[in-house]
Structure 1
Amino acid sequence: MKELRYKMIFALILLLISVFIGLGLLLGQLFKTSYLNSFQEQMKQEGVLIAKQIEDQGGVHTVNNERIEHTQEVLKSRITIVDSAGNILFDSNKYGGNYKNHNKEIKSIIHEINKEKTGTKHIENGYNIFYFWSTIEISDELDGIVILSSEANELMISYKQLWLLLSLILGGSFIVILIIGSKITTNFTKPVESATRTAIELAKGNYHARAHEDQYNEFSTLNTSINILARNLQKITKEQEMQKDRLQAVIENIGMPLILIDAKGRITLINQMFNEMFHVASQDIIGKTYLDVIEYEIVNETIETIFMTEQKIRKQITIPMNIQMKDFEVYGAPIISLANEWKGIVLAFHDITEIKKLEKIRKDFVANVSHELKTPITSIKGFTETLLDGALHDQQALESFLNIILKESNRLQSLVYDLLELSKIESDNLHLNIKEVQICKVILDIVDSLKKRAKEKNIDIQIDPNNRNQIIEGDLLRIQQIFINLISNALSYTLPGGNIYIDIRDEQDYVTISIRDTGIGIETEEIPRVFERFYRVDKARSRNSGGTGLGLAIVKHSVEAHHGEIRVDSEVGRGSNFIVKLPKKLSTNLNEYNSTSSKQ
């Protein structure tokens, strides 16, 4: 912006130089003309006066030379007197003078007499001499001529002095006007420069820039307007940034994959959930068409449906990801501006895999509960009806039927108890009665209680405690429940003559209990399901043993309630190994255990 100031100053300088040169030439010429006119008028008056004096003295032949010389000294002009025949009678500078052609000029003047009685002549050619002549008449007859000549040296000196004075005056005026003009130009361009700098900063996106405001300046309105514009832009930008941050926060924390596609089918935005779910990077797909990036045909078909119908859509799809199938509920909608201009579409993927899984578990649970309840109830009802139909009087049948009814009632009671127990463990407010538990003693007591059952099947139970004094913190009843179920299952699924090995090992912060049997084993693909409700590896065997199918589910939740771990290693035909890892110390806030994380 300084260029504007320099241009204005340069233009001012050119204008001043042009004006002052023209003014100087004009003043100089006027002075020169005025001086010459004055000089010539003076010479004319002097010449006329001398001619009058000569006429009064009686003519050119009676001239008093001394008096003329005295007059020449006073006038400081060269006086030449010529008679009517053209002869020079008197010349005050006859034997000197700078002008060598004086006589020639005298003759030229004599020839001019016939035209004019008085006259002037200016000789330049480096001499700058002025001539004036006047006729002398006696009785109206030409008696002679008086000629005055004078060098204009004083004119040149005055002329030089005039130019020096004009130069000083005009030069001083030039400097003063230049300083004042520069000051005015600076004051004129400074607010414009400030406004320009501010406008440039605003164009760069710096909305904090402000122009200087001066209420006494003619450009105050411009700068004030620019500042108002800057403040408005800053406010709008801040609001846009806040909106953008809010939108970004919503998009990134919406809890589901999100993708935006423009009207040309190019992907313009994806959130972090989309990156993580579909294992893609934003920089690899932003700007590309969805057909080039999305490899799932069902997703592309959904996008095309929204493009063609321009309607919202909601549907459930299943997509293979890695080694598992994922279920999604897809929400899609077109993006249309207020001016009804098509902008693109937005697609959200709600992962309902766990919901589907839970729904399947719920259905299986209801079906299994119904099945498990149906069998004993049917048995009880059937034998009761048989007794009422007449078998009541047959003592042997009565005793047999009543034993069966008792057995089925016990089984029904056990099923209801296990359901209530499982519900209690899975509740949000499970209270654990935490105290020190000697784990080896608990297991030994359980083995003693099951010796009769093991003896009936000729199964040998061997305990190898690494340390018989391992102490852990936990709920004694829950811990007993864990190992009663595990050891009972080992007895149920181990063939007669088999073995059960119980190994208790003390680790740094945990106690690990391994219960290994030589039973029928579990298929590899069935291992992840053994902790599901009502799941049985061998349904006939477990039902004959009186099991409800809820034991391992109870075990899993009880172990997790103690912040422990349980896993299974098994091989069909060679047996199974259930490994339980329990921490020695539990934090005090476990008196109330939130089992939400362990729900299936």
Structure 2
Amino acid sequence: MKKNERQRSRPPHWTDWLLPASSSVAAVALLIACFGWWTSRTATEKARAFAKEKLETIAHVVELAAADESVKAGDITAMLDVLGPREGLVTAERVDHPSEPTISNPDLVSVDVVLPRDLGVVHLVDVIERPWTASDLLLPGAVGLGLVALVLGATFYATTRTSGLRRVGSALRAIHAGEKDHEILRVADRFGPDAVAWNSLLSALQEVVHAPEASQPNRRDENVRAGHLPVGALDAMPFGLVALDQNRRVMFCNGAGAVMLGLNRSEVIGESATTCEAFSEMHGQIDEVFSGVTPRVTMDITRGEETSRDIFRVTLRSLRKDDDAAVLLIIEDVTQTRIADEARNSFVAQATHELRTPLTNIRLVVEEAIESGMAENPALTHSLNIINQEVRRLDRVVADMLSVSEIEAATMSLNIDDTPLARLFADLESDYRAQAREKSITLTFTLPAKLETIRADREKVALLLHNVLGNAVKYTPEGGHVEFIAEQDPEGLTVRVKDDGPGIAADDHERVFQKFYRTDEARISGTKGSGLGLALAREIARLHGGDIELESELGRGCEFIIRIPDPRSEGMNQAA
């Protein structure tokens, strides 16, 4: 044997594998540690933000209640005694004077709000539901140690037991490089059964190298295998997945989907969704997606009794034509979300109802004082006018909250009657003239010479217009312009509200009509708002059979186009 052959036959020392193996282990351990730290930190910050938002919402409701002149300090304390246990707060109390923050526990978050009329300070404390604890990192740590042991063990095994395989690998690389001499590619039999098998393979290959080409193997089975869904991975998902084929038969159902729909996986595969009782509520939506009317449909279904009901959100999506599956059903359990929404809506509705009565009384007394001429002093008259404007503004805020609760509960209805537009627009201009003057904003009303009445809900149309015009005045900078343009024809009413404010990016045109949505634009980040006005305005317009559109660019201002049809028009009668 030649010297270079002896060197080539000598197995490599185990230390040759130590450095790369150690680097791999260190990299895996570092990755696991970083991922665990990042996941814990991100989830904790989200939990903290959620708890903070919850406390601020409760504090805002208490602050609105405190604005009522008839509410005393004892009433605030009683309200907090009820809200604290109901919302699961650690502390919900009223103190006379603000104090320095003393909470150092990172698992707690607090909010202090100074109440008007020297009623003291609301002090709220809640627990952050931390999704991760130190013990939760034991599993990643154990996995990391297991990987270390596995890599070291594999390294040791490779250096001592796989000499033949490594030399076969060298021969394969030589083939890839263009080597065709079988004698050079052979491996000495002393390197074990792997080397013997390799040499046998080379001999067999040499015998058939000149044989006629064999026919191409049938690839059908391979294609079928390539199309199999990763059942193990999909079963670990928290939401259900059900796939229907072109004939509407169930071809796949993961574990979560079977549990949510009450199916037996072994029995439902191959069953038609048309005859399966579990899909009875979805037949219409399945037909829409299969027919191509819409590529995606979302619906909610309820299972169980009222006392123990489960609510699932089902999204049906059409798939590519070259896929075996035609429609995919994605099922999410939204029971807890719906329960939380209902509890929030109930609380908001109760709070707004309680606030509305004293506000109405205050407004009536002030208006009576103004109209009776009791306030002959100009300064007193001015003060009463300001009180009247602020009470009406607060009444609109309460009306917004109550209307949103009605929308969420699907109980909002319209009181259709003859609505005089001239009086409605006059009140609107009066409400915002002073606010525009304070910001040196030029507020222009362009109205037809003659305005006819329309059949609509006067209060809700007024709320719609207040929300849109109020937004324009609020976000227009000092010295800007806001224009209110009304047009009326036999079909109904069209209102355009234009401003030269900061504008809204195209991606946010639809999002601004979502509840509680506020853009991230830095120029308006300091402007306060509930995020309900535009969402409520669009809902009111659509309840009347109309809609609101937005035309805007960043830095170019906004134009909101409101259309409210008159049900007396011929077009609306035909639609009815």
Q: TM-score range by the shorter chain?
A: 0.3 to 0.5
**Largest Rg, 1 or 2:** 1
More strand by share: 1
**TM-score w.r.t. structure 1 length?**
0.33
**TM-score w.r.t. structure 2 length?**
0.34
